[in-house]
Amino acid sequence: MNSLITLGLTQLFRGARRGQALTAGLGAAMTVIGIARRRSGAGEKMLFARTLKDGEGITVRMERGSLNGGDA
């Protein structure tokens, strides 16, 4: 998400420097969206982390109802 903020700020300042209102406006919009996403906590959250050794594997199973967080 930081890349959206960075790209938005780059476009905002580039548009302002060159006098291109559309580019500056789009950059401002991208920056605002990036900040809003960061503040809302949207995005992926890590539930489990482990470093696997050579030869180890991991199996992921989805249980019924696990997509919406409710019990089946």
pLDDT tens digits for 18-42? 999 999 999 999 999 998 888 776 5
| CA dist., res. 8 & res. 35, Å (int) | 10
Question: Residue 50 — pLDDT band, cuts 50, 70, 90?
Answer: confident
pLDDT at 62: 73
More confident residue, 8 or 50: 8
Contacts of residue 71, defined as CB under 8 A and 6 or more positions apart, other chains included, come to 65
pLDDT at 43: 58
pLDDT greater than 80 at residue 2: no
Whole-structure pTM value:
0.54
What is the phi-psi region of residue 11: left when phi exceeds 0, alpha when psi lies from -120 to 50, beta otherwise? alpha
